[in-house]
């Protein structure tokens, strides 16, 4: 009986710890506008064709 109770407790604990995490989508209009502004800034700072990556908060040049 003790083994069954331990198995059930371990199974419940594992099920609770493996829950999914929900994150809202990041493609909101505010983020899109921020990326557009950052893209313009990146092109002016790096030069056309020299921008490696742009996100809403920063950019990197090649």
Task: Evaluate whether 38 touches 58 at the Cβ level (below 8 Å).
Answer: yes
pTM flag (> 0.85): no
Beta bridge partners of 54: 59
Please write down the HEC assignment for all residues of the chain. Answer: CHHHHHHHHHHHHHHHHCCCCCCCCCCCHHHHHHHHHHHHHHHHHHCCCCEEEECCCCEEEC
pLDDT score recorded for residue 41: 92
Model pLDDT for residues 6-59, shown as the tens digit of each residue: 888 888 777 666 666 666 666 667 678 888 999 999 999 999 889 999 988 899
């Amino acid at each position: 009986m003790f083994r069954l109770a331990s198995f059930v407790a371990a199974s419940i604990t594992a099920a609770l710890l493996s829950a999914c995490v929900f994150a809202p989508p990041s493609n909101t209009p505010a983020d899109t506008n921020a990326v557009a502004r950052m893209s313009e800034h990146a092109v002016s700072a790096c030069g056309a064709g020299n921008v490696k990556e742009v996100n809403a908060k920063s950019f990197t040049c090649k």
